[in-house]
């Protein structure tokens, strides 16, 4: 016996548009909260007030909770029953893994940037480093961290590789402040930044990549020392 094939259920145009609008709103809220996290709006272990976020973004709590679930899956948030939504605390071991991954990706970004550097972006990077010095002198570690992300982000952009940029953006979101004294490293990291700018400007891909990898290893080595100190090694 031959049976008639059932046609897929078609959505009414109005119903379809409503679903699309809802998805667009959910994506926008997700992107907004993820940007808050990337800009260190919430400290590691801090509780997120869903009601307050929904009022700030002028949306209902539904898209906020949808965003929270997505960010949970990405390992950025945790929803503890009867307690609330919290930022995941960054462990030293996790931080080390992130810097190890960033070393390889940023090395490639620096090499690609040096192939065809943008003078406009390089000038902007120098301005960012001037701001970084001011943040350091004021003891503003959060401000220093923001200028650091801006500096590295410009190198990512200059690589002109969208896949690489997406991967580095994902890492950036996961890289939250860690409980480790970093002030002694800042002068060395600043000098690295100056060197990287000049190497990219001179169109030297190999040295640019090596300098960027070495720059990332400075923080890795400090994290490894702190892990060993806490373990009593």
Give tens-digit pLDDT for 150-205: 999 999 999 999 999 999 988 887 887 676 778 889 999 999 999 999 999 999 99
Residues 6 or more apart whose Cβ sits within 8 Å of residue 129: 147, 151, 190, 193, 194, 197
- Cβ count within 10 A of residue 212: 29
Mean pLDDT of all residues belonging to the chain: 88
Q: What is the pTM of this model?
A: 0.75
Kindly provide the residue ranges of all beta strands, DSSP E only, lying in the chain, ordered along the sequence.
Answer: 47-48, 77-80, 84-87
Higher pLDDT, 69 or 23: 69
Give tens-digit pLDDT for 32-79: 998 888 777 888 788 999 999 999 999 999 999 999 999 998 888 999
Mean pLDDT of 101-124: 97
Domains and CATH numbers, the chain: 21-87 (1.10.10.10), 92-230 (1.20.120.530)
Backbone φ and ψ of 91, nearest 5°: -90, 160
User: Which pLDDT band, with edges at 50, 70 and 90, does 14 fall under?
Assistant: low
Backbone φ and ψ of 118, nearest 5°: -100, 120
């Amino acid at each position: 016996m031959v049976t008639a094939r059932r046609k897929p259920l078609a959505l009414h145009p109005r119903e379809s548009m409503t679903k699309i609008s809802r998805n667009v709103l959910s994506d926008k809220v997700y992107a907004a909260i993820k940007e808050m996290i990337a800009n260190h709006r919430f400290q590691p272990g801090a509780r997120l007030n869903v009601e307050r976020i929904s009022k700030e973004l002028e949306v209902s709590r539904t898209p906020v909770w949808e965003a929270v679930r997505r960010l949970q899956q990405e390992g950025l948030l945790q929803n503890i029953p009867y307690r609330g939504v919290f930022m995941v605390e960054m462990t030293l071991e996790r931080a080390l893994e992130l810097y190890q991954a960033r070393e390889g990706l940023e090395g490639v970004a620096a090499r690609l940037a040096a192939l065809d550097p943008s003078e406009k972006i390089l000038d902007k990077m120098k301005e960012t480093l001037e701001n970084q010095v001011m943040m350091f002198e004021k003891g503003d570690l959060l401000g220093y961290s923001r200028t650091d992300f801006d500096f590295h982000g410009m190198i990512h952009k200059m690589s002109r590789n969208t896949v690489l940029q997406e991967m580095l953006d994902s890492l950036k979101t996961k890289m939250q402040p860690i409980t480790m004294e970093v002030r002694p490293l800042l002068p060395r990291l600043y000098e690295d930044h100056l060197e990287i700018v000049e190497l990219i400007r001179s169109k030297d891909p190999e040295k640019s990549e090596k300098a960027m990898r070495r720059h990332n290893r400075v923080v890795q080595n400090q994290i490894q020392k702190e892990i060993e100190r806490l373990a009593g090694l």
